[in-house]
Amino acid sequence: MPMLSLFVSLTLAGPTGLTATINDPQSHGTLGDPLLSLDEAIRLANGTLTIAQLSAAEQAQLSGPTGDVREIVIDASITPTITLQAPLTPIVGPNNHTEHVEITGIAGANAPVLQGGNHPYVLALRRHLVHVEGLHILGGQVAIDAQMGPMGHHFHMAKVHECEIEGQSVAGVLVHGFGTEESMLMLEHVHFEGMPVGIRLDDQTSGTGTAMVECEFVHMHDVQLGNDVLGHGSGQMTMLNWFRSDFHGGDTLARLRRNPTATGDFMFRFVHCEADCHMDVLDAQGNGAGLTMVHHHHSNFTAAPGHKAFWAYPRTALFDIHGSEMHFDGDVSIAGNTFSPRMWQQNSHYANGTVTFDVDGALPNLLWNRYTNCTLVVPSTARSPVTVRSSELFATSVQAQSLFAPVALRGCYRNGGSLSGQASEQLPAPARFLGTTDTGPVEMPIGGIARLGADLPFGIGGYWVFAFSYPRPVTTAEPVRFYGDPATGILLPGMVVFQSNTQVPLPNSPGLVGLEFYVQSVTVPLLGQSYAPAYHLPRGGLLRFTW
């Protein structure tokens, strides 16, 4: 399957068959009684139960054109809570690749609740064309168990949308694949609360098999481990993607553990994410048999004191690492073996930690970064020289401990800290040249006022640009990446210098609701400074219009 297709989720057409409205507060109920249960509706959708087997009262809960059940509705005004008597029948749906099944919750004061008790799982998705929306899944060992077979010539992902997942004893979501299965799940606007693991991705695929979770607008609170990846497969690709999501009140955002013999490729991708952790933020243990990609962009990773905001290891593993527009608070440690193809981090801020590069493969490509209260270390085991280009170091020491991997600060500004070992400076900058910006709020009511803050060094000017954001920005470009479409850019009049706070009144137009912009500053040197880049794009921010 082409790489780009993995980031596409086709919009599912509306159901064309019957709608089943659930009125039984028990998950399975009794076939032939006056109430239609959720499990009975799932079996109707699967084709293992026929309408003729229902009582007249149960049949009265079906509406729409003749055909099979394709939508299952749980209306909170009718069944505010459904209590599981046993795990629900896995959702398989019809035996074709064109029709889908929807389970939709309709909220009253609250979303309808599926009370899972201590059952192994609540909902089991066994088909790509399944859409679950508007439910509050409470308890159970696992809320959503997703495992699908090969999808053939069609690319669809099962989808969980606008759901609350709370209080599971094992994991909120379990996605697992074996052999040539293609288990893929998209989570959008899903809130996880109070559980040991938010998402567990268990990859034991081979050949053409793959396992994938894609998250957008996912919120995790009081989840001990946000994403737990068990990479034991040798399939074509395993991926876990996070976009526009956040993690708070838990220990670790994401952890990867790869079997030493797993040969399949794996990718973490984080873009526009916020993580504030009690321990390490990202813990990626690779191996030497398969490529481990850790792509991280435009996110804030904050670790607990003494812990790691970013951790890719061991040095015998094969890594492809690139990141940009990041803020790391805590330690950063990156290793990689001789065959590691890429290792770059650009236009990012490192604060309050030890930053370690123990790399044997690709030369670390470090450009336009800022280091504050850090120690930059290249240990004696490293073999790849490290060049820090056009960056700024504040109260940051550099320790180059390897004879084979010297550290060169080229065109950098340094204020405080020391250099030791095989560390040197080349063409040091006499003054700061990298500006920073701060925009907000992200959620902006129409008619509100956007705040655009800039902190620019002497001799640097900036222009503000509004542009429609890219849902999936291209993050592989160097040295700059665009998170908003330049073709739609609106340039605000006037230049800002030094410290500024620009208030921008926004139109009171309902047509803006639901639109998302990226607000970006472009800075240029005003005095012809040879040590400053010809232009620079400090990290901007998203702006979404709401009522």
pLDDT at 221: 98
| Structural contact between residues 290 and 267, judged by C-beta atoms closer than 8 angstroms | no
For residue 368, the number of C-alpha atoms closer than 13 Å in the C-beta half-sphere is 23
Domain range for residue 502?
A: 436-546
pLDDT at 155: 77
> Which residues are CB-contacts of 454 (< 8 A; sequence separation ≥ 6)?
435, 436, 437, 438, 462, 496, 499, 500, 502, 521, 538
In a domain, 454, yes or no: yes
pLDDT at 2: 33
In a domain, 453, yes or no: yes
For the domain that residue 526 is a member of, what is the CATH number? Answer: 2.20.130
Cα–Cα distance measured from residue 376 to residue 439, given in angstroms and rounded to the nearest whole number: 29
Total count of domains within the chain: 1
In a domain, 398, yes or no: no
pLDDT at 96: 60
pTM for the structure as a whole: 0.94
Cα–Cα distance measured from residue 119 to residue 115, given in angstroms and rounded to the nearest whole number: 10
Residues of the chain with pLDDT under 50: 1-15
In a domain, 524, yes or no: yes
In a domain, 362, yes or no: no
pLDDT at 99: 78
Tally of CB atoms within 10 A around 261: 11
In a domain, 486, yes or no: yes
Q: Are strands 292-297 and 130-133 parallel, antiparallel or unpaired?
A: unpaired
Longest C-alpha distance within the chain, in Å? 86
Tell me the per-residue pLDDT of 198-256, one tens digit each, with 9 for 90 and over.
Answer: 999 999 999 999 999 999 999 999 999 999 999 999 998 899 999 999 999 999 999 99
In a domain, 353, yes or no: no
In a domain, 385, yes or no: no
Structure tokens at 103: 């389970």
pLDDT at 177: 94
